[in-house]
Amino acid sequence: MASQAKSDSATPRFDQFLSAIESRRDNWQRLHGLAQAWAALPADRKGSDRVDLISEAKQLLAQLETLEVYFAYPGLALIQRLREKLTASDTSGFADLARRIAKAVLGGTYRRDGSAWDADEESTEAKSRAPVYARGAAADRLYFEVLVVGSGSAADQERVRREIRQLRRNDDPFDYELVFAPSFEDAMLAALFNGDIQAVVIYEGFPFKSKLNFPYMADFLARQLTVDPQTTAPAAFGTALAAALNRARPELDVYLLTDQAPERLATSRDAKAIRRVFYDVEDLMELHLALLQGVGERYDTPYFDNLKEYARRPIGTFHALPVARGKSIFKSHWIRDMGEFYGVNLFMAESSATTGGLDSLLEPTGNIKVAQEKAARAFGADRAYFGTNGTSTSNKIVAQAVVRPGDICLADRNCHKSHHYGFVLAGAEVIYVEAFPLTEYSMYGAVPTTTIVKALNDLKAAGKLDRVRMLTLTNCTFDGHMYNVKKVMRECLAIKPDLIFLFDEAWFGFARFDPLHRRRTAMQAAKELRQELGGKARIRVYQTNSTHKSMSALRQGSMILVADDDFAEVLEPFEEAFFTHTSTSPNLQIIASLDIARRQMELEGYELTMRMTELALQIRREVNNHPLISKYFRVLTPAEMIPKEFRESGVDDYPPAVTWAKFVESLEDDEFALDPTRLTITCGAAGFDGTQFKNLLAGKYDVQLNKTSRNSVLIQTNINNTRSDVAHLVGVLARLAGDVDRKQNSASEGDREAFKSRVRDLIKDVPDLPNFSRFHDAFRSDPASKTPEGQMRDAFFMAYRAENCEHVKLSSPEIDKRLKEGPELVSANFVIPYPPGFPIMVPGQVIDLATITFMRKLDVKEIHGYHAPTGLKLLKPEALAARQKAGGRADRAAGVRVGVPAGVEVTTTRSKSPVKAKR
């Protein structure tokens, strides 16, 4: 019993595996603190202080030992040395070694400093006893760890380690150390815990179960596995492990060493997740070189490398870009500070050339092409295109590439405005599918699958399925709603097997590298559905992501990812669209940063994204469990952000409030899940509206945040956040909550009432969010149709003619009169208030009472497309009537063709007869 209790206390809570990584660092820090305190105790003090310190240190060391088997540094030999010192009461030796290890773990110096690996700096005699290998790496050589899975003994492990070390050569680009895992479970735990692991070498023939006792983790792992350990033969564990590792961390290179017919295995389906199969250890040098090559391929940034090369060359430029090479700046009398501020490399790396090793973004044949191929592989796509003008442009490129005039597109109305403009450009007929509202917080959620399926079925019933082309959704939404992409696609493809999907993952590019989020990404769904559906449907998925929003790319760096079985059909229009929207002077630094962002994510994206998720969970815990902060500020939970019917698992919060197994189940199966890294913090209870609170945080406390709603703000964690950031934010919230509380406690009765009324106003008196009303019949190709599609393009361009437009003030009685008696109010343009940031009116939309009421209640400053002094811009009823009379073309009604040179004959989609343009 006693030993059971001991092992339980020493076993870290592996169900909380995200925080286990952070607590590892904390524990080393704590051990260091204890060791220093012990060393500082006067020698004659034998009291309980000393006993307590030693017993806590022993317990902590035991706990660390359990986890340290999954890390190469400090390694069991160093830990053994630490234990020896502790047992021998060598206080100063223990304090010294604990300090060195803690420093190396926390600062990551073991990666480049060989001396961090020395067991004992002061004693060469002790050094010779220690079975520790000094790494001796060149300080600038990059470091990673290789996981070796196999059931070899400790002596076997030492031998392999030694043999591998002997293969190191001075010109190796990287340096690596080995971590050993004796079982399937240990291998998975090591890969999940240790972000330094970049490659895995599997020796066939190892058991499934770990000898260590992790009851929580076993349950969690079971959910991740595609094999049943009870029924799978141990011989098949190798390929099963490769598949499981690939699912958890697809960037890892997996090598299998087998003594059974490697040729057959290399071509089998099971070996897909394996980079290379070796016949046992016939040639260790080959394996060593393969390991270096695998990481080298991810490290390689062809465009960036060439740009650096280019910057070093003495090149005289006679093209049109004076800042190139920086001479116009560094020789200037007046703008030298520009050079000092940005540094010389920025200008040395500037060019308008597309040759000389720089390639052309518009027609890539060299290193941009390779960089894009690498990005496609890293993000799990068939193809990747780099964009240098943000996802705003990437979205328009995709819309223009795949949508043909007259095609019907389904879209969430809350999607980013670039999609709406894309529909205008493409001449799409749009059906807006409504997201569920979160009226209480003045925001929308995401679009239920049933809504999308109903729209498709209605189109099918109307015989229009052949005209349906694309579904556009935002995943995840601004506020963090993540679709169950596979479910959406599966159900849509059952009705329309060639539907194209555009998932705007502007905020979600990082998700590929985090196993918790990845299952909710477009590219992962495409991959899994290709396997699941076989040839039953065409997989046609496009993803756009603002690489700059979640990875280390410069602003405007964006990518378009493609997994389209029929891409050949759209290749040419895609190129046209790309040419339409891409500058002929794309920014070289943005292209290079996209290349680098990919490198970073493939090599450390796992660790960084897991950390940002853990930090977000920490903020959630700290804020919601703090009695004073949570009185005024709260981070909304999945229960508050997603209606119950879309959370089939019943999960209403995050770990530790729910178990990890349950949480992963919710991520896997629920219709919607809430991205933990996007945190909506309510501030209405503190009497702040979102904008006020945002300004307060930015102006007074240096906290920059994302967006606001009437009574909340949105913050997000990112790959650059640290625990200090979390501490700062939580500290600021505590201070603000304290201020509000103190003020209220000492306020007069009247002031208290005023505060209550302000809070009530912010929380309860929220305007109903208006649904999309409908398109005016003048913009519907088939006004009698039951399906609501309409097009914005003609309405948009009609408004280019002043004679077609009128302005009516929002407060004017004319609005109320026309709402009651007509003629209908029809919007001439997009009206987009910030927040909420989606178009409340689109061109050609009939404006209804709900929209007017919402607009009148809006108290935000920024409303794009609306100027209060002039009022709403409407299309005149006469212009609309004339358009309808002329068979649906305003330009014809006005007697002038839009965009068609005089004398050119065109046929419209609606009228088969050629119409001569009159001018």
Ligand X SMILES: Cc1ncc(COP(=O)(O)O)c(C=O)c1O
- Give the residue with the Cβ less far from ligand X, 416 or 512: 416
Stretch that binds ligand X, among 214-222, 357-365, 390-398, 718-726 (CB under 6 A): 390-398
* DSSP symbol at 841: B
Helix, coil or strand: residue 42: coil
**Residue 478 interacts with ligand X (CB under 6 A): yes or no:** yes
- Give the residue with the Cβ less far from ligand X, 480 or 515: 480
- Give the residue with the Cβ less far from ligand X, 184 or 838: 838
Q: How many residues of this chain bind ligand X (CB under 6 A)?
A: 11
**Residue 414 interacts with ligand X (CB under 6 A): yes or no:** no
- Give the residue with the Cβ less far from ligand X, 102 or 415: 415
Helix, coil or strand: residue 98: helix
CA 813 – CA 459 distance, rounded (Å): 39
CB of 384 to ligand X, least distance (A): 16
Residue count of the chain: 919
Asked if 740 and 696 count as a contact pair (C-beta separation under 8 A), the reply is no
Cα–Cα–Cα angle for 235, 238, 239, nearest 5°? 110
Helix, coil or strand: residue 319: coil
DSSP string covering 212-242: S--HHHHHHHHHH-SS-TTTS-GGGHHHHHH
Which of 189, 163, 170 shows the shortest CA–CA distance to 178? 163
Q: Which H or E element spans position 175?
A: strand 174-181
Task: Give the CB-nearest residue to ligand X.
Answer: 390
- Give the residue with the Cβ less far from ligand X, 364 or 557: 557
Instruction: Categorise residue 559: left if φ over 0, alpha if ψ from -120 to 50, beta otherwise.
Output: beta
Stretch that binds ligand X, among 30-38, 389-397, 421-429, 634-642 (CB under 6 A): 389-397
Candidate list 391, 589, 618, 717; residue touching ligand X; CB under 6 A: 391
CA 842 – CA 669 distance, rounded (Å): 35
Instruction: Categorise residue 364: left if φ over 0, alpha if ψ from -120 to 50, beta otherwise.
Output: beta
Give me the residues paired with residue 831 across strands: 841
CA–CA distance from 32 to each of 21, 27, 97 (Å)?
Answer: 17, 8, 9
Q: What are the CB-based long-range contacts (under 8 Å, 24+) for 25-30?
A: 25/105, 25/106, 27/60, 27/63, 27/64, 28/64, 28/98, 28/101, 28/102, 28/105, 28/106, 29/102, 29/106, 30/60
Candidate list 200, 375, 506, 577; residue touching ligand X; CB under 6 A: 506
- Give the residue with the Cβ less far from ligand X, 124 or 580: 580
**Residue 521 interacts with ligand X (CB under 6 A): yes or no:** no
CB of 548 to ligand X, least distance (A): 6
Residue with tokens 């962002």: 597
- Give the residue with the Cβ less far from ligand X, 555 or 916: 555
CB of 551 to ligand X, least distance (A): 12
Stretch that binds ligand X, among 77-85, 113-121, 386-394, 698-706 (CB under 6 A): 386-394
- Give the residue with the Cβ less far from ligand X, 634 or 678: 678
Candidate list 210, 301, 558, 637; residue touching ligand X; CB under 6 A: 558
Candidate list 74, 150, 250, 390; residue touching ligand X; CB under 6 A: 390
CB of 504 to ligand X, least distance (A): 5
- Cβ neighbour number for residue 917 with a 10 Å cutoff: 17
CB of 667 to ligand X, least distance (A): 21
- Give the residue with the Cβ less far from ligand X, 474 or 827: 474
**Residue 397 interacts with ligand X (CB under 6 A): yes or no:** no
**Residue 582 interacts with ligand X (CB under 6 A): yes or no:** no
CA 39 to chain centre: 46
CB of 543 to ligand X, least distance (A): 11
CA 287 to chain centre: 33
CA 673 to chain centre: 14
- Give the residue with the Cβ less far from ligand X, 388 or 618: 388
Asked if 477 and 675 count as a contact pair (C-beta separation under 8 A), the reply is no
β-pair type (429-433, 790-791): antiparallel
**Residue 474 interacts with ligand X (CB under 6 A): yes or no:** yes
Candidate list 258, 372, 524, 546; residue touching ligand X; CB under 6 A: 546
- Give the residue with the Cβ less far from ligand X, 31 or 415: 415
CB of 580 to ligand X, least distance (A): 16
Stretch that binds ligand X, among 83-91, 363-371, 384-392, 401-409 (CB under 6 A): 384-392
- Give the residue with the Cβ less far from ligand X, 418 or 721: 418
**Residue 110 interacts with ligand X (CB under 6 A): yes or no:** no
E strand map for 464-581: 468-474, 481-483, 500-504, 540-545, 558-564
**Residue 708 interacts with ligand X (CB under 6 A): yes or no:** no
- Give the residue with the Cβ less far from ligand X, 392 or 827: 392
Phi and psi, residue 270, nearest 5°? -65, -20
**Residue 392 interacts with ligand X (CB under 6 A): yes or no:** yes
Structure tokens at 768: 């109903």
Stretch that binds ligand X, among 141-149, 274-282, 387-395, 661-669 (CB under 6 A): 387-395
**Residue 550 interacts with ligand X (CB under 6 A): yes or no:** no
**Residue 418 interacts with ligand X (CB under 6 A): yes or no:** yes
Asked if 672 and 694 count as a contact pair (C-beta separation under 8 A), the reply is no
H helix runs in 746-848, sequence order: 749-763, 793-798, 813-821
Q: Which residues bind ligand X (CB under 6 A)?
A: 390-392, 416, 418, 474, 478, 504, 506, 546, 558
